[in-house]
């Protein structure tokens, strides 16, 4: 088989084109108290100027830890993560040791999968995403683990069914082997329903001031040309639990509206937009329309009426707007590459694809480092 292009390796996993800009809409906005802890592993082979292995941890879509094969160190990405050593003074050393072991298993997995897929090229990528979610209002919990190879889905763990689902023909042999290990299946259930949730609650406590803050947005109406849709653009808000929609006479619109994806800002806040098509809107009816934003933590909705005086035209400031959009796009791409796998995640409910990375068999490490036991690909 032919080699996978570098762009696909870095940006193509787990249906990347559909997902890259929806990265941070992972929490269901209808559930404003849903917290998440997620980890992303990416291993590469033959990709120039890119680490062979990168691991990223996130709480409520905020990056908290980073490891890569170049530095061979696990480092905090938030100041408040230093509090973790209060409970476990060896936390960072254990994280590094565990991830160095996983790095080696990933390397072996890629070689095994190259044979399984009958590949001869050297440029390949293996990915893993796993984590848990907790609703602090209802107490509901969930967990997920999925793997991918060369931008295609491979295998996923179904927590409710307590079994693995092969998402490619080449993954079926791995599924059969994993489903036979009942002890391993039980441990995964224990990890996702207890250990992962325990660590999520700890991290939420450590980062309470950051993770539970509320920052109101700046809302603007933007339009490229008089015939273009009007975009209601909100930026600079936190948390990411937000809903933006257009209304007519106070009722939410659906057919004339196109919803944008939630995007990260470099300062840790977010931005989002919703476009209203003016094709069927008569000028005399503009007063009936408004953009409504609901943000978790804000008592009142933010309502912006559709008024010509409020609209900022991209045509009038094309160069500055273009630069701003370019900067946002560049920031998103950089964040994706640095996270090296964060953008390779898709909502667990869509059952995304996957590739099995490696394992550290120490149950003590598993409990203190909070990875579920990794599985290795075997012929």
Q: Is residue 326 part of a domain?
A: no
| Domain range enclosing 254 | 218-316
pLDDT for 220 equals 96
Binned at pLDDT 50, 70 and 90, residue 347 comes out as very low
For residue 266, pLDDT over 50 is answered with yes
Same domain, 159 and 54: yes
Same domain, 104 and 168: yes
DSSP lists the bridge partners of residue 73 as 68
Same domain, 233 and 140: no
How much is the pTM?
0.69
17 alpha carbon, distance to own chain's centre: 14
Please write the tens of the pLDDT for every residue from 198-243. 999 999 999 999 988 899 999 999 999 988 999 999 999 998 889 9
Binned at pLDDT 50, 70 and 90, residue 374 comes out as low
| Burial letters 313-337, b for 16+ CB under 10 A, else e | ebeeeeeebeeeeeebeeebeebbb
Same domain, 227 and 285: yes
Rounded distance, CA 35 to CA 141, Å?
9
Domains: count for the chain? 2
Radius of gyration of the chain (CA): 22
Same domain, 228 and 143: no
CATH of the domain at 350: 3.30.500.10
Q: Is residue 223 part of a domain?
A: yes
| Burial letters 127-141, b for 16+ CB under 10 A, else e | bbbbbbbbbeeeeeb
Orientation angle between helical segments 182-190 and 172-180, nearest 10 degrees: 80
50 alpha carbon, distance to own chain's centre: 20
Contact by Cβ (8 Å): 211, 59: yes
Q: Is residue 91 part of a domain?
A: yes
Say which residue, 28 or 114, is predicted with more confidence.
Answer: 114
- Closest to 58 measured CA to CA, from 36, 41, 87: 36
Phi, psi at 119, each rounded to 5°: -105, 150
Binned at pLDDT 50, 70 and 90, residue 313 comes out as confident
For residue 333, pLDDT over 50 is answered with no
Same domain, 277 and 342: no
For residue 107, pLDDT over 80 is answered with yes
Say which residue, 282 or 9, is predicted with more confidence.
Answer: 282
Q: Is residue 1 part of a domain?
A: no
CATH of the domain at 246: 2.60.40.10
Highest mean pLDDT among 27-36, 115-124, 147-156: 147-156
Neighbours of 298 (CB within 10 A): 15
Percentage of the chain modeled with pLDDT above 90: 63
Same domain, 165 and 234: no
Same domain, 39 and 183: yes
């Amino acid at each position: 088989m032919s080699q996978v292009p570098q762009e696909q390796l870095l940006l193509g996993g787990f249906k990347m084109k559909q997902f890259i800009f929806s990265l941070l809409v992972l929490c269901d906005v209808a559930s404003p108290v849903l917290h998440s802890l997620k980890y992303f592993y990416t291993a590469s082979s033959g990709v120039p100027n890119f680490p062979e292995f990168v691991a990223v941890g996130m709480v409520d879509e905020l990056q908290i830890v980073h490891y890569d094969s170049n530095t061979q160190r696990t480092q905090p990405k938030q100041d408040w993560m230093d509090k973790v050593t209060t409970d476990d003074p060896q936390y960072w050393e254990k994280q590094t040791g565990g991830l160095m072991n996983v790095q080696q298993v990933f390397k072996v997995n890629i070689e095994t999968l190259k044979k399984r897929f009958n590949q001869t090229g050297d440029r390949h990528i293996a990915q893993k995403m796993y984590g848990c979610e907790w609703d602090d209002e209802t107490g509901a919990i969930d967990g997920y683990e999925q793997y991918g190879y060369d931008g295609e889905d491979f295998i996923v763990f179904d927590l409710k069914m307590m079994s693995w689902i092969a998402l490619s023909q080449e993954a079926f042999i791995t599924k059969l082997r994993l489903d036979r290990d009942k002890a391993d299946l039980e441990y995964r259930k224990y990890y996702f329903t207890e250990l992962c949730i325990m660590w999520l609650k700890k991290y939420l406590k450590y980062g309470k001031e950051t993770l539970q803050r509320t920052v109101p947005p700046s809302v603007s109406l933007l339009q490229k040309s008089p015939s273009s849709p009007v975009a209601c653009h909100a930026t600079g808000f936190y948390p990411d639990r937000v809903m933006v929609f257009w209304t007519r006479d106070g009722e939410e619109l659906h057919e004339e509206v196109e919803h944008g994806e939630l995007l990260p800002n470099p300062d840790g806040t977010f931005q989002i937009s919703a476009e209203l098509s003016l094709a069927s809107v008569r000028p005399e009816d503009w007063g009936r329309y408004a953009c409504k934003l609901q943000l978790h933590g804000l008592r009142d909705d933010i309502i912006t009426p559709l008024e010509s005086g409020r609209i900022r035209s991209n045509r009038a400031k094309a160069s500055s707007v273009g630069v701003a959009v370019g900067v946002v796009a560049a920031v998103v791409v950089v964040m994706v590459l640095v996270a090296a796998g964060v953008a390779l995640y898709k909502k667990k409910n869509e059952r995304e694809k996957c590739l099995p990375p490696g394992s550290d068999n120490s149950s003590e490490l598993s409990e203190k480092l909070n990875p579920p036991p990794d599985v290795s690909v075997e012929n």
